[in-house]
């Protein structure tokens, strides 16, 4: 089974539909299987007190200005939906509230994604699971009890899912990756396990690919120096091309684990072991 590679655009488009299209093009050119966005109902996710707090951004001087500036509306999502269909790539989004999940149903995406922040909300999980779409469940900031509960909800609903090992720091320190958790999750829950990475660089994602993950998600950006909290933990276009190419090579290199002499070795073995036959004659 090939690793399903997701280019996480998230909010790195900075509310600009043309930048979003550029990021979609970057994902396609690199060979990704899908792109992912994030959807929030600002009034549900944040309190009024928080939204009224001061914050300087390209959109104004309050948290509300910044959050609204980053959020796409229905017309924007219609453009994204048509553009992805035209370019031949799947898209989906992680909703951060029930209204946003219901909103996303209008586009009939093939997949759902549970952001780590939402994995502890039983009500939200049940809403997603009733759709019966293959769902990627991130496990950042979660205990085993949290994951146990989420898995039960999806199994009870007979909704296909896979877990994603995640560490929710941006960017993540290398020493916090704990990649052996991929195996632990797979053994505990008897399901596919992917990796959602927030590290700088590519080495940890390569290692995750060699551990047999079913999916790989990385944030992408046009330029890490752009405005935004996720840009520093994101991959630029050249890095994304390198990542996808290397992951596909790693998949081929892993093989089936059965020791055997391959056809190409036979003439080499004959040549390199020829001296052994001379020695046996003497």
Does position 86 have pLDDT exceeding 80, yes or no? yes
* pLDDT score recorded for residue 6: 98
* Percent of the chain clearing pLDDT 70 (strictly above): 99
* pLDDT score recorded for residue 282: 55
* pLDDT score recorded for residue 277: 84
Calpha distance 94→278 (Å, rounded): 68
Band of pLDDT at residue 278, cut at 50, 70 and 90: confident
Mean pLDDT of 201-212: 98
Calpha distance 273→282 (Å, rounded): 15
Calpha distance 118→95 (Å, rounded): 8
Task: Report the run of H or E that residue 195 belongs to, with start and end.
Answer: strand 193-197
Calpha distance 191→213 (Å, rounded): 11
Calpha distance 266→246 (Å, rounded): 29
Does position 191 have pLDDT exceeding 90, yes or no? yes
Rg (CA), the chain: 22
Mean pLDDT of 184-204: 97
Please report, for the chain, the start and end positions of each structural domain, with discontinuous segments joined by +: 4-281
Give per-residue pLDDT as tens, 130-169: 999 999 999 999 999 999 999 999 999 999 999 999 999 9
Instruction: Find, among 73, 84, 80, 138, the residue nearest to 112 by Cα.
Output: 138
Q: Are 233 and 180 in contact, with CB atoms under 8 Å apart?
A: no
Is CATH 3.30.390.50 correct for 4-281?
no
* pLDDT score recorded for residue 208: 98
* pLDDT score recorded for residue 281: 60
* pLDDT score recorded for residue 112: 98
* pLDDT score recorded for residue 1: 80
Band of pLDDT at residue 118, cut at 50, 70 and 90: very high
């Amino acid at each position: 089974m090939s690793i399903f590679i997701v280019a996480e655009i998230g909010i790195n488009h900075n509310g600009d539909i043309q930048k979003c299209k550029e990021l979609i093009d970057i994902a396609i050119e690199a060979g990704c299987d899908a792109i992912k966005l994030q959807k929030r109902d600002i009034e549900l996710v944040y309190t009024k007190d928080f939204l009224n707090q001061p914050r300087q951004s390209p959109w104004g001087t309050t948290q509300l200005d910044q959050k609204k500036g980053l959020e796409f509306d229905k017309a924007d999502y219609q453009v994204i939906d048509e553009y992805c269909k035209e370019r031949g790539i799947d898209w989906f989004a992680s909703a951060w509230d029930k209204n946003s999940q219901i909103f996303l149903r209008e586009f009939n995406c093939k997949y759902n994604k549970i952001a780590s922040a939402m994995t502890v909300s039983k009500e939200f999980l049940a809403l997603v699971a009733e759709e019966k779409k293959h769902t990627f469940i991130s496990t950042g900031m979660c205990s085993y009890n949290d994951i146990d509960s989420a898995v039960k909800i999806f199994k009870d609903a007979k909704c296909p899912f896979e877990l994603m090992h995640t560490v929710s720091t941006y960017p993540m320190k290398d020493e916090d990756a704990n990649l052996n958790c991929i195996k632990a999750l797979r053994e505990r829950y008897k399901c596919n396990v992917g990796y959602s990475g927030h590290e700088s660089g590519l080495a940890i994602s390569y290692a995750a690919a060699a551990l047999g993950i079913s999916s790989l998600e990385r944030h992408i950006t046009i330029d890490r120096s752009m405005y935004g909290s996720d840009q520093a933990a994101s991959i630029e276009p050249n890095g994304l091309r390198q990542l996808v190419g290397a992951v596909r090579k790693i998949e081929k290199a892993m093989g089936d684990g059965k020791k055997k002499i391959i056809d190409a070795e036979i003439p080499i073995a004959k040549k390199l072991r020829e001296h052994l036959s001379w020695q046996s004659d003497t």
